Amino acid sequence: MARSIIKEVEQEYGEPFWDVVAAYAADGNSMTMTAKILGYKDGSTLWYLLRYHKKDIQFPKMGYCNAVQNPDPMTTADKQRISDVKRSQNRSAAGEYERKTGESAEDAIKRMAPFSTVIDTARAIGWKNASCMRAWMKIRGIEVEFKKYNPVPPRTRSGWADINLGGRKKQQPKPYAAQSTL
C-alpha cells in the first residue's frame, strides 16, 4: 500500500489536510517550503494536488516568504565548512586534470606552453576553449607565452599556393582579343 502523506498530516495535526496547508501559507511559508515541511520532496506535488482538488490557497509571492525575509544567519564556521567542501570537490577542468594526473593545471600550462598553442594546451587539460583557460589564468595571475599558431598554406592542384599576406596583389592587364601581335 502506498504511503499517504495527506492521511499522515491529518493524523499528526488533528485537522483537515487543506486547513494545515492554508495555515502554513498564512504564516508566510512558500509552497515549496510547506510541501517539504509536510513530507513531500518538492513543491510540484503540492501544486498538482492544489490544482487537482481545485483549492485556492494563496501562498506568499516570490521573495516575500519566510525563508527569504528571515534567513538563518550563517556563521563564519559554516561559511568555512562550505568553502572547504567546494574546494575538495573542485569540478573545474583544472581540478579534474589534477585529480587524473596528479599534476596541477598551472604546472601543466607552464610545461606545455613553449611547445603547443594556447588552444592545444587548453584542450589537453580539459577546457572547452582557450578563453576559459585564459580567464582561469588571469584570475590566478598566471602569465605564460604560448607557441604561435602558424597556419599551413592551402594546397592547389599544382602544389602549395602562394599566399600574399602583405595586401592585395596587383591586377595583371588582361590581353584584348583585338590586340595586334606585331
Q: What is the pLDDT of residue 166?
A: 55
Q: Residue 156 in 3-state DSSP?
A: strand
Q: What is the pLDDT of residue 44?
A: 87
Q: What is the pLDDT along the chain (182 residues), one digit of tens a residue?
A: 346 888 888 898 899 999 999 999 888 888 888 988 888 888 888 889 999 989 889 888 877 777 666 666 777 787 778 777 776 676 788 888 888 898 989 999 999 999 999 999 999 999 989 999 999 899 889 999 998 888 776 666 666 555 555 555 555 556 665 555 55
What cell was used for 118?
Answer: 594556447
Q: What is the pLDDT of residue 30?
A: 87
Q: What is the pLDDT of residue 120?
A: 93
Q: What is the pLDDT of residue 161?
A: 56
From the list 77, 11, 78, 9, the residue with the least C-alpha distance to 46 is 9
What cell was used for 17?
Answer: 489536510
Predicted model pTM = 0.40
Tell me the C-alpha distance between 117 and 146, whole Å: 6
Q: What is the pLDDT of residue 1?
A: 37
One DSSP character per residue, 60-99 reads: PPTT-SHHHHSPPPPPHHHHHHHHHHHHHT--SHHHHHHH
8 phi/psi in degrees, rounded to 5 = -65, -40
Tell me the C-alpha distance between 118 and 138, whole Å: 14
Q: Computed over its alpha carbons, how large is the radius of gyration of the chain?
A: 33
Residues 6+ apart with CB under 8 A from 179: none
Q: Residue 159 in 3-state DSSP?
A: strand
Give the bridge partners for 156, in sequence order.
159
